[in-house]
Chains A and B, each alone.
Chain A
Amino acid sequence: MRGKFFAALTFIALGIGAQGFWSPADARISLEKCTLCHGKPEFRKILVDGKIRDLFATADSLKGSVHEKKTCVDCHFDVSEIPHRQRPQRVTCTHCHYKGNAEGAPQTDAYLDYFGSVHGTALARGNAKAPLCQDCHGSHQIRKAKDPAATVSRHEVPETCGQCHIEIYAQYKTSIHGVAVSKGIAEAPSCTGCHGEHRIYGHKDPKSTVFPTHVAEQCSTCHSSVSIMSKFGIEAEQVTTYQNSFHGVASKFGSKTVANCASCHGVHDIRPPEDPLSLVNPKNIPATCGKCHPGANPNFALGKMHVDAHKKESGIIYYTAQFFKFLTIGTMLALIAHIFLDMYGRTRRLRGE
């Protein structure tokens, strides 16, 4: 009985060992065979439209990336003979990247968000220009987002998105956020800071973080934080003053046409008010307000925009608020006192005093 058990164990152990030893070496194509051709520096193909497709790839191509330990055919798994006869298919990342995979890829379903996003739906509609995973994450040099060299790192994302969104990139690059990101300021938002990562939706989609009624909320994730804003000398109260203004209230109640942060400050071209190109520069305010309030004139710029009636700096507005505060308190105290005295008097008379 014991002998049979050990025999079975040995058999199983041998089987597992054999799989480990033999299968990759024999069943797959080794890296050396690929680099026979792809390792030549001049290995490239000239396409019909005149573009040059660089096909150079060596053992160093994956060095430093998260797939450092993978071989060519782990991803290009449709290459089964060398030289391959047709062009290999685009790499399908979901081959490994799904929750429950056995390949050692991160156990996450984050990629599913992509299919509902504006990029994923564009792809599903047959838009050949819609980006796939590798368009943002890179092909051979895929790195973790925290790695500064990654194409999806905070510092690099604007350039990555700008490959397609070139005009927006040009606006963003010179905006206060773009300049801050290029300076390496960790708090400054890159594209993904506002638009999200895999869950990017068009700005007209109510799911979007930049849908008109969500803009204020999205900006306030940083702009209402005193700890972040104090570093740059920006007032964090701009968020509350907006929320208390009619624009903020109407936006809260779902108005899509009322001004949100971006309506006045710009979308990608946000600049500090001192900048003459800024939409909220006093010189430009008539034009900016005039988008909604026809006939806006320089009077729109006379007085603080984000005005807080509870602050003494607001001047006449503060004193108006104070006057009404004391008027209301005084009047209501007197009136309520009169009511209670009336009730007290009635009670006395009822008791017959």
Chain B
Amino acid sequence: MSLNEKKEPKQDALEREVEAAVGEETAGLEPAEAERIRERVRARVLEEVERERRIRTAAERREEERRRREEKRREKYHEEGERFQRFNWNFRFQHMVMFSSVIILIITGMPIKFPDFVLSRYLVALWGGIHNSTLVHRIGAVMLIYFMVHHLVYTVLSRQGRRDFILLIPTPKDLRDAVQNVRHFLGKNPERPRFGRFSYIEKFDYWAVYWGCVIMIGSGLFLWFESITLKWFPKYVLDVAHEMHSDEALLATLAIIIWHFYNVHFNPDRFPGTLMWWHGQISEQEMKEEHPLEYEEIMAKRSKPEAAEVPHR
């Protein structure tokens, strides 16, 4: 057993080290007391070493590693405290379907809008020609339509979905928040606006997706089934649909890459990015910072026993 032989000298060294440390600490105590402490420490250390040895599989080691990191993080930012589940799995899944489809749609669609751009040739060649590229574009379109349907069904049927939808409806407070935020940026107002579950920025993003989906899916379906469209509408309707599809695509792409990415990934608080889209969690610190009203609401609910069944909202 070469493994054990290798371990032996290591273990001896460890024991000597423990001996020395404990000896130093217990120098002032009675010998019997010191012996008792030493015995206990040795047993604890040996147990720890033994446990370490048992962690053999990679999965175990990874799990252990994760636990250690978590502990370290807690030590470092103990003020962060609890992690709140901001987005449930269903919502995150919708978002992932949407952004995958949007990425596919952008990289297959933009070369058609900008055929002379240097990268366009390669983006089309990536799929093996324009015909495959248009096919992939339709696959992306189906994903986006699925997302839209899924989200509408989720909004109607899910309790969380209904609640979020109501919270996402713009209110006069959002306008006041926006003005106050700009004043805050300019240093005219020391107080940051206090946001609820969704800030005006997030509400804008949400409704921009609605607007974008309606325009893009609507005009896209017209263009996809051009023969059927032309059965009922004159040709200039198709031209309008083409123009809308092309222009709204550019607006959506710019808004996502510049605005959305800055607000969620590239701003100095989050740079180089956040994984909230994956785990859906938000730290207590961020919660207090970004959504103070929601945080207070949660805390108020928790303090009431009858509201205990809806925690972590």
Task: Indicate if the CB atoms of B236 and A346 lie closer than 8 Å.
Answer: no
Mask, B137-149, CB within 8 Å of A = 1, is: 0000000000000
CB distance from B183 to the nearest CB of A (A): 10
Quick one: which of B157-214 are within 8 Å of A by CB?
182, 184-187
Residue B248 CB within 8 A of the other chain: yes
Task: Indicate if the CB atoms of B235 and A302 lie closer than 8 Å.
Answer: yes
* Whole-angstrom CA separation of A243 from B113 in the bound complex: 11
* Whole-angstrom CA separation of A15 from B244 in the bound complex: 86
* Whole-angstrom CA separation of A142 from B138 in the bound complex: 59
Quick one: which of A149-173 are within 8 Å of B by CB?
none
**Contact A321:B247 (CB < 8 A) given known A293-B226, A294-B227, A335-B255:** yes
Residue A299 CB within 8 A of the other chain: yes
Closest to A346 in B: B268
Residue A301 CB within 8 A of the other chain: yes
Task: Indicate if the CB atoms of A255 and B131 lie closer than 8 Å.
Answer: yes
Residue B111 CB within 8 A of the other chain: yes
**Contact A302:B234 (CB < 8 A) given known A246-B242, A253-B111:** yes
Closest to A304 in B: B236
Task: Indicate if the CB atoms of B186 and A249 lie closer than 8 Å.
Answer: no
CB distance from B237 to the nearest CB of A (A): 8
Residue A300 CB within 8 A of the other chain: yes
* Whole-angstrom CA separation of A75 from B240 in the bound complex: 66
Q: Which residues of B contact A335 (CB under 8 A)?
A: 255, 258-259
CB distance from B230 to the nearest CB of A (A): 5
Task: Indicate if the CB atoms of A320 and B243 lie closer than 8 Å.
Answer: yes
Residue B293 CB within 8 A of the other chain: no
**Contact A254:B130 (CB < 8 A) given known A332-B258, A346-B268:** yes
B interface size (C-beta, 8 A): 42
**Contact A332:B129 (CB < 8 A) given known A320-B240, A344-B185:** no
Residue A195 CB within 8 A of the other chain: no
Mask, B100-140, CB within 8 Å of A = 1, is: 00000000000110010000110010000111011000000
Residue B89 CB within 8 A of the other chain: no
Residue A112 CB within 8 A of the other chain: no
Quick one: which of B211-237 are within 8 Å of A by CB?
226-227, 230-236
CB distance from A254 to the nearest CB of B (A): 6
Task: Indicate if the CB atoms of B130 and A296 lie closer than 8 Å.
Answer: no
* Whole-angstrom CA separation of A211 from B53 in the bound complex: 72
* Whole-angstrom CA separation of A336 from B255 in the bound complex: 9
Quick one: which of A102-125 are within 8 Å of B by CB?
none
Residue A5 CB within 8 A of the other chain: no
**Contact A324:B258 (CB < 8 A) given known A300-B230, A303-B235, A341-B186:** no
* Whole-angstrom CA separation of A335 from B205 in the bound complex: 11
Q: Which residues of A contact B133 (CB under 8 A)?
A: 253
Residue B3 CB within 8 A of the other chain: no
Please classify the interface of chain B as helix (H, G, I), strand (E, B), loop, or mixed, using the class held by over half of its residues.
Answer: helix
Query: Interface centre among B184, B230, B250, B258, by most A CB within 10 Å?
Result: B230
Q: Which of B131, B187, B254, B268 contacts A332 (CB 8 A)?
A: B254
Residue A339 CB within 8 A of the other chain: yes
Task: Indicate if the CB atoms of A345 and B184 lie closer than 8 Å.
Answer: yes
Residue B59 CB within 8 A of the other chain: no
Residue A252 CB within 8 A of the other chain: yes
Quick one: which of B240-293 are within 8 Å of A by CB?
240, 242-244, 247-248, 250-251, 254-255, 258-259, 262, 267-268
* Whole-angstrom CA separation of A294 from B133 in the bound complex: 22
Residue A126 CB within 8 A of the other chain: no
Quick one: which of A294-353 are within 8 Å of B by CB?
294-297, 299-305, 307, 309, 314-317, 320-321, 324-325, 327-328, 331-332, 335-336, 338-339, 341-346, 348, 353
Mask, B69-108, CB within 8 Å of A = 1, is: 0000000000000000000000000000000000000000
Mask, A67-110, CB within 8 Å of B = 1, is: 00000000000000000000000000000000000000000000
Q: Which residues of A contact B47 (CB under 8 A)?
A: none
* Whole-angstrom CA separation of A113 from B125 in the bound complex: 32
CB distance from B261 to the nearest CB of A (A): 10
Q: Which of A255, A297, A320 contacts B230 (CB 8 A)?
A: A297
Task: Indicate if the CB atoms of B247 and A301 lie closer than 8 Å.
Answer: no
* Whole-angstrom CA separation of A315 from B248 in the bound complex: 19
Task: Indicate if the CB atoms of A324 and B243 lie closer than 8 Å.
Answer: yes
* Whole-angstrom CA separation of A204 from B129 in the bound complex: 19
Q: Which of B115, B186, B236 contacts A253 (CB 8 A)?
A: B115
Q: Which residues of B contact A345 (CB under 8 A)?
A: 184-187
Residue B297 CB within 8 A of the other chain: no
Closest to A315 in B: B236
Closest to A243 in B: B115
Q: Which residues of A contact B185 (CB under 8 A)?
A: 341-342, 344-345
* Whole-angstrom CA separation of A353 from B262 in the bound complex: 24
Q: Which of B130, B232, B234 contacts A250 (CB 8 A)?
A: B130
Residue B239 CB within 8 A of the other chain: yes
* Whole-angstrom CA separation of A304 from B235 in the bound complex: 8
What are 30 contact pairs spanning A and B, CB under 8 A?
Answer: A243-B115, A250-B112, A250-B130, A253-B120, A296-B230, A299-B230, A299-B231, A299-B232, A299-B233, A299-B235, A302-B235, A303-B234, A303-B235, A305-B235, A314-B239, A315-B236, A317-B236, A324-B243, A324-B244, A324-B251, A327-B247, A331-B251, A332-B258, A336-B259, A338-B182, A339-B262, A341-B185, A342-B262, A345-B185, A353-B187
Which 8 pairs show the lowest CB-CB distances between chains A and B? A345-B185, A302-B234, A303-B236, A324-B247, A303-B235, A253-B130, A341-B185, A335-B259
B interface, CB within 8 angstroms of A: 111-112, 115, 120-121, 124, 129-131, 133-134, 182, 184-187, 226-227, 230-236, 238-240, 242-244, 247-248, 250-251, 254-255, 258-259, 262, 267-268
A interface, CB within 8 angstroms of B: 243, 246, 249-250, 252-255, 257-258, 293-297, 299-305, 307, 309, 314-317, 320-321, 324-325, 327-328, 331-332, 335-336, 338-339, 341-346, 348, 353
